[in-house]
Chain A
Amino acid sequence: MMESKELIDKVAERVGRSKDDVKKLLEGLIIVLQERAEDLDSVAIPGFGTFEAKKKDERIVNNPSNGKRMLVPPRVALTFKVSNVLKSKLK
């Protein structure tokens, strides 16, 4: 598992900027993605995938351990769909 810090180090090396700069950019990116997600926009990153906020409908689920049925409320969830390019590289 690669943690955030390690990722920032790697990206800083690739971009040739300080870790602080990269960290700020990453934080900015997260804010931008969050704002877009709140607006239910989708963000496509070529060669990587698409981030999209999707509304999930309410549903009834069974709790297998005690057999109780629950009505799960609707929610908005951030989903990520892997691009085909990355998928084929993965194999």
Chain B
Amino acid sequence: MNKKLTFPELAELLSAATNTSKRMSELFLRELFAAIAQSLIEGESVKVKGLGVFKVGEVSSRKSIDVNTGKAIEIAGHKKITFTPDKSMAEAVNASFACFEAVVLDDDVTNEMIQEIDDELAAAASSAEAISEKETEEIVDENQELPEESSDEETVTLEVPIETTETVVTPPPFNISQVENEPATDEEPEQETEMPTEDPQSEPDVEVTELESPEEESGQEEKESAPEESEVETEESEHVDNQPTVQALAAMAQEQSKDGFERSNENSEELDNDEDNYDEYQHRRHRHHHHRSWYDRNRFGLGFMSGAFVGIAFAVAVLFYFDNQGYITISKNSFAKEQPIEEVVEIADTVATAAPGDTVAAVADSAKSEPSKPVAKPAVVTDTVRPGNFLSRMARRFYGNSHFWVYIYEENKAKITNPNNVAEGTVVVIPPAEKYGIDAQSPESVEKARKKEGEVLNAYK
């Protein structure tokens, strides 16, 4: 970002991108720009396809006044070079702002009115932050009360809402910090508060439509007086479904809030789980852009602050919520069976007494041994190596930073003999970002990738 690249650096990048020696690419660059410059000096414009047009224009002489002496002087006519980027280049560079369109203003809109709107938005953003703080505290309170209110029957059905959020919403593999960049809106806090509390009430129809499996499972549990261990296992696997990892949880919280946001904008669509995750992310981003006028977008700075805060606070609230759920489901287990209670009680004890972090860690452990469905679900993402689509470009596209290409290489070592020269048409598997802890937002992660990059490249020098 905002780095200044020197000539040798450019040559290095070029040699890496085209698999030519550094000497050759340096020579090429020098000669290319010398040729363009020569043509320009001769007065001939140069068009470079894909880059743009360098034009030479004449500036005629004009009269002016010397600022220091106040005497009239004449500025001699000279030539001027202008550069107009190619359409394809201009569009690629402007991709992040492509969703905006020019708007015709009403005649009666004055500059003062625009300034007023600006001020209002700023005020709204700061007050939204204050409100969200209060409301998230309320969520925690409500959640803590839940266990007392719920009867035995309810504990069975209470699992359902969590399952629904799981099945409808797949935890996105892209990293959380990116998600937190999502712009916050004023509606968001309200939506969030409604999400968890509404779930138990909306459970009956959800049960009928989608969720027979948990029902079946609990039915089995009651019938079976089978060995307790298997019982516990199913119970645990349910937890695995509910709380795959802390990360996924937080991601889910984000997902929920996003869901809420989308619903407020349009009637919620079913999410396409098979969709390429990156595309999905981009797609969502785009939708966000479309729904807010580009004018609003300037408020991102403030919106993001409150959005990030709400996201984190909500994730913590959901953690509490699930923790309580875990306690409930296991105590229900002991009610249902009344068989060898000792073991169950033991587990209930450990879960109940252990700190939230511990239980989640334990669950995460079991998640490793038993492949949890929602996390493993996303289809394997692949891409094909073509000219102009190298590993680094894929990394940029999928992870947001080209340095992460090493991980794609790492994942496809078997197919790639030399990372500097990957055969065209090679189909490579793009590993999910979590697998290698890829996070374009974190400088440490990028630094790690850079180090690894150096090691890998040194091996092929």
Chain A residues close to B by CB (< 8 Å): 1-4, 7, 10-11, 14-15, 17, 22, 24-49, 53, 58, 60, 68-80, 82, 86-87, 89-91
Chain A residues near B39 (CB, 8 Å)?
2, 7
Residue pairs across A and B with Cβ atoms less than 8 A apart, 24 shown, are A1-B46, A2-B46, A7-B47, A17-B28, A25-B14, A25-B28, A29-B32, A30-B50, A31-B17, A31-B393, A38-B92, A38-B93, A38-B95, A69-B107, A73-B100, A73-B103, A75-B94, A76-B94, A77-B85, A78-B93, A86-B40, A86-B81, A90-B56, A91-B79
Identify B6's interface contact among A24, A44, A58, CB under 8 A: A44
| Complex Cα–Cα for A15 and B402 (A) | 30
B130: interface (CB < 8 Å) = no
| Complex Cα–Cα for A14 and B39 (A) | 14
Contact flags B74-85 to A (C-beta < 8 A → 1, else 0): 000011110101
Closest Cβ of chain A: how far from B13's Cβ, in Å?
5
Give the one of A2, A14, A41 with max B CB within 10 A: A2
Known: A7-B32, A29-B28. 5 other contacts (CB 8 A): A2-B44, A7-B36, A76-B93, A86-B40, A90-B41
Total number of B residues with any Cβ neighbor in A under 8 Å: 69
Find out whether the CB atom of A70 lies under 8 angstroms from the CB atom of B29: no
Find out whether the CB atom of B31 lies under 8 angstroms from the CB atom of A15: yes
Find out whether the CB atom of A48 lies under 8 angstroms from the CB atom of B37: yes
Find out whether the CB atom of B10 lies under 8 angstroms from the CB atom of A68: no
Find out whether the CB atom of B295 lies under 8 angstroms from the CB atom of A14: no
Closest to B106 in A: A69
Find out whether the CB atom of B35 lies under 8 angstroms from the CB atom of A11: yes
Find out whether the CB atom of A25 lies under 8 angstroms from the CB atom of B18: yes
Closest to B5 in A: A43
Closest Cβ of chain A: how far from B11's Cβ, in Å?
10
Identify A2's interface contact among B27, B32, B45, CB under 8 A: B45
Identify A75's interface contact among B27, B89, B97, B109, CB under 8 A: B97
Closest to A68 in B: B104
Closest Cβ of chain A: how far from B257's Cβ, in Å?
27
